[in-house]
Structure formats: C-alpha cells, structure tokens
C-alpha cells in the first residue's frame, strides 16, 4: 500500500526554519546583552581601581608638597642664620678695625714720619702728617703697599712745604703730606685658604 503525505510539508519546514532563526537571533541578542553588561561591569571595576590609584597618588603629592614647603622653610631659616652670622662677623671685624689700623700705621711709618690726622670714611682712610723728606713719604707708601695685612692701595694726595716751629722756637722746613689708603677685608676665620695673621 502506498502512503502519500498530502500535508503542506514545505510550509512546515519554512515555519521550523523561521522559529530556529528567531531562536538563534534571541540567543545572539542575549549573548550580546550579556557581553555588554560584562564589559560595563569590567569598565566600572577598572574605573574604580584607577580612581583609587589616583587618590593615592594625589595624597602622596600633597605629602610631598608639604615636605618641600618644610624644606624651603628650613633653607630660608638656614640662610637667615648665615646672614646673621655674617653680620656678627662683620661687626666683630669692624670692632677690631680701628685697633688694627692704628697698629699697622704705627708699625709701617718709618722714622721721620709724624702722623697728625687720621679720618675714616667707610673703607677709605685719609692720613695726614709731617715728613722730614720726600724719601720718608715714599718709604711709607712702599711699606703700606708691601707689608700691611689690613691696608692696601696707598694713594698720595699732596706733599707741600710746611714751616714747623719746634719747642726750641727754631723754624724747620718739613713736608706736609696727605694720602688715602683702603682698608682690606681680612679673610674670615675658618675660611678655606685663610692665611694666619702675621706677628708684628
């Protein structure tokens, strides 16, 4: 006996294919949505981690800025202390300057030179005196330029004849002279290369 299928098998097959297509499409949509959600969650997690790292870095930067500010304050205090120390050393040097100046002038003045006036303006000293001869004045200038630790750059201003009356009422012809000398800044104690002061 021969069986003949009279049902519309093509429509059934088309219907099954259509259902399979929509089922695959729905499954693909679910998988795509799952991937999107997973990607979003991963992105959120990485963003949170990066925010944590950024916060840590910002905290460390704040701490370092505070330390840098402290170091700058310390440097300013050190510079202030150094400037005070220099001021005290300068005061100490200025206090000793008149004594050293008079000591050097007395030591370097040759016989036949008599000092009558000493005036100081800042680092320049004007010396006036009486000399027996021009040679004595020249010797005085040489002594200052070569053998003084505190005086430098002697410069003769003028030499003129002067009549001086002595105790015996004799008139003697002497030379009245005036000169300028500069006061050296002596090396600071403890400075490298500072020479020891010469003993007179």
CA atoms of 84 and 62, how far apart (whole Å): 33
CA atoms of 149 and 131, how far apart (whole Å): 23
Partners of 174 in beta bridges: 162
pLDDT in tens, 46-101: 999 999 999 999 999 999 999 999 999 999 999 999 998 888 887 776 677 778 88
Place of tokens 């040759």: 110
Task: pLDDT band for 35, please (50, 70, 90 cuts).
Answer: very high
Buried b (16+ CB within 10 A) or exposed e, 130-168: bbbeeebbebbbebbeeebebbeebeeeeeeeeeeeeee
Q: Is there a contact between 200 and 148 (Cβ–Cβ < 8 Å)?
A: no
């Amino acid at each position: 006996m021969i069986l003949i299928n009279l049902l519309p098998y093509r429509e059934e097959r088309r219907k099954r294919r259509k259902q399979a297509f929509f089922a695959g499409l729905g499954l693909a949509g679910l998988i795509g949505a799952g991937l999107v959600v997973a990607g979003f969650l991963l992105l959120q997690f990485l963003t949170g981690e990066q925010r944590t790292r950024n916060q840590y870095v910002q905290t460390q930067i704040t701490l370092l800025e505070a330390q840098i500010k402290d170091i700058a304050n310390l440097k300013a205090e050190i510079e202030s202390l150094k400037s005070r120390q220099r001021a005290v050393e300068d005061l100490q040097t200025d206090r000793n300057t008149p004594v050293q100046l008079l000591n050097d002038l007395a030591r370097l003045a040759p016989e036949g030179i008599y000092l009558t006036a000493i005036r100081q303006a800042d680092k320049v000293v004007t010396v006036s005196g009486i000399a027996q001869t021009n040679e004595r004045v020249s010797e005085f200038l040489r002594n200052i330029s070569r053998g003084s630790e505190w005086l430098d750059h002697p410069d003769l201003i003028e030499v003129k004849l002067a009549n001086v009356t002595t105790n015996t009422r004799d008139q003697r012809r002497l030379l009245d002279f005036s000169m300028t000398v500069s006061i050296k800044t002596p090396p600071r104690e403890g400075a490298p290369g500072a020479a020891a002061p010469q003993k007179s």
